[in-house]
């Protein structure tokens, strides 16, 4: 698979404003924060810090089979924050300001078409024994 297709499929691309640094998750030509048109496409950073998190026990339609699951606000090195799924860990393991790494995971499956939707989540780095 061509990288261009792969990164769109996994939603790893963000559009960053070169003027104020804001992330946009959908292609845009104008920054929603500062109205600049200096937008560059880039890869979502692979490391982030956990800011806050919560367990979702009553998920929206399509995510029922995954409940309960954890979502959190993660913060990148440049201070940009993002709401993302947290995976591969127990809720008790999570602590504010811990380091996380980005992984690609199945997000949901469309019941009618059987289409599996992938996207990024974050997890604590795997400990090396
Ligand atoms: Zn901007």
Task: State the fold for domain 45-129.
Answer: OB fold (Dihydrolipoamide Acetyltransferase, E2P) (2.40.50)
Structure confidence by residue, pLDDT tens digits, 70-107: 999 999 887 888 889 999 998 999 999 999 999 988 77
Query: In this model, does residue 114 exceed pLDDT 90?
Result: no
Q: Residue 95: what pLDDT?
A: 95
If you measure from the C-alpha of residue 25 to the centroid of ligand 1, how many angstroms do you get, rounded to a whole number? 13
21 C-alpha to ligand 1 centroid (Å): 6
How do residues 36-67 score in pLDDT, each as one tens digit? 999 999 888 889 999 999 998 888 887 777 78
For the chain, what are the domain ranges?
1-44, 45-129
Distance 12 CA to ligand 1 centre (A): 20
Q: What's the CA-to-centroid distance between 30 and ligand 1, angstroms?
A: 8
> Quick one: three-class SS letters along the chain?
CCHHHHHHHCCCEEEEECCCCCEECCCCCCCCCCCCCCEEEEECCCEEEEEEEEEECCCCCCCHHHCCEEEEEEECCCCCEEEEEECCCCHHHCCCCCEEEEEEEEEEECCCCCCEEEEEEEECCCCCC
Instruction: Inform me whether the pLDDT recorded for 109 exceeds 80.
Output: no
Please say if the pLDDT value at position 9 is more than 60.
no
Distance 27 CA to ligand 1 centre (A): 14
């Amino acid at each position: 698979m061509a990288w261009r297709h792969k990164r769109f499929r996994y939603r790893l691309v963000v559009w960053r404003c070169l003027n104020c640094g804001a992330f946009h998750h959908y292609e845009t030509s104008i920054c929603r924060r500062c109205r600049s048109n200096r937008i560059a496409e880039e890869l979502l950073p692979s490391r982030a810090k956990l800011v806050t998190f919560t367990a979702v026990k009553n998920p929206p339609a399509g995510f029922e089979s995954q409940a309960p699951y954890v979502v959190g606000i993660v913060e990148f090195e440049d201070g940009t924050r993002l709401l993302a799924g947290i995976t591969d860990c127990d809720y008790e393991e999570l602590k504010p300001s811990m380091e996380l790494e980005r992984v690609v995971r199945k997000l949901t499956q469309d019941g009618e078409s059987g289409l599996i939707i992938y996207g990024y989540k974050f997890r604590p780095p795997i400990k090396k024994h």
